[in-house]
Amino acid sequence: MDPSYFRNDVLRGRVALITGGGSGIGFEVAKQFGFHGCKGVVIMGRRQQFLEEAVGLLSKEGVNAAFVTGDVRKFEDCTAAVQMAVKKFGALDILVNAAAGNFLAAAEQISSNGFRTVMDIDAVGTFNTTRAAFDALKTSQFGGVVTNITATLHYTATWYQTAPVAAKAAIDAMTRNLALEWGDFGIRCNGVAPGPIAETPGLEKLSGGNADKIDWSHIPARRPGLKAEIASACIYLCLNRYITGQVLPVDGGEWFGKKPMIPREMVPRPQRRAALLLFFV
């Protein structure tokens, strides 16, 4: 078990639904939620065998987990997932939208169908699951919480990522709007924007299978993130009841990271006289 910033009972009594919970970040979020007291964790995905194996692993770790097979692009599947969570565990308090689709493609080469697929999984899928969960979340005794796993791709621009850039920007805007409207019902909506995270399918795919050869010197933290660090951010957003409509980057500074134009040792040192003048001006 990874070290935690929180007591192991901080989510006691809560029920969580995590889309894309069969692997990667979603699976880690499910595991850490269980470690921190959730009485029930439901993971949703499209591949039943994959989900069965994931629930088996969670159960071995002592997490009270269940799965539901479904596609977030289908509203009826999202509704069924929410109903299953409520029926099995008695409530739904936390929704984490971690399902995502992504692939490298130059803008002039991606097809309209390819672009639409990413938008449908990421943006439409996030809305579908969140909308389906509304009635359950507004009756949560703890206050309903939605956390959307997005990215920092659209903070500037990202090569060969036109579709996910558009999708993540849409999710961030939707997060703020839902936070605005659903505050009336005691529901908070936030996001977590991971940078490159080690040992995830996403990093392996986007690195062409060369994740171990990536130069991390452009990231202020000088390393990729850990899945547990993303999960801890999700736990924090469940606990702080005065945060809503925000997206928390957890990327080691990757989105603004820049390699220096010249080495540090070549940066001229200011003369003492000039420094003193600057101080007294």
* Full 3-state SS string of 5-29: CCCCCCCCCCEEEEECCCCHHHHHH
- Report yes or no on 8 lying in a domain: no
Query: Which domain CATH number covers 35?
Result: 3.40.50.720
Q: Of 129, 110, 100, 121, which is closest to residue 200 (Cα–Cα)?
A: 100
The answer as to whether 2 is a domain residue is no
**Whole-prediction pTM value?**
0.92
Please report, in tens digits, the pLDDT of each residue of the chain (281 residues total): 456 799 999 999 999 999 999 999 999 999 999 999 999 999 999 999 999 999 999 999 999 999 999 999 999 999 999 999 999 999 999 999 999 998 889 999 999 999 999 999 999 999 999 999 999 999 999 999 999 999 999 999 999 999 999 999 999 999 999 999 999 999 999 999 999 999 887 787 777 777 778 889 999 999 999 999 999 999 999 999 999 999 999 999 999 998 888 888 888 887 655 555 555 55
Helix axes 162-182, 112-119, angle to 10 degrees: 30
Cα–Cα distance for residue pair 185/225, rounded to 1 Å: 34
Q: Which two tokens stand for residue 200?
A: 């995830």
Domain extent for 269: 15-280
Note whether 89 and 138 are within 8 A (CB).
no
CA atoms within 13 A on the CB side of 202: 24
pLDDT at 268: 84
Q: Which SS3 state, helix, strand or coil, does residue 169 take?
A: helix
Q: Looking at residue 271, what is its pLDDT?
A: 65
- Identify the pLDDT of residue 1: 47
| Residue 49: inside a domain | yes
Q: Assess if residue 29 is contained within a domain.
A: yes
pLDDT value, residue 102: 87
Is residue 124, in this structure, part of any structural domain at all?
Answer: yes
Do the domain assignments include residue 125?
yes
Domain count, the chain: 1
- Structural domain contains residue 9: no
Does 7 reside within a domain?
no
The per-residue pLDDT for 213 is: 82
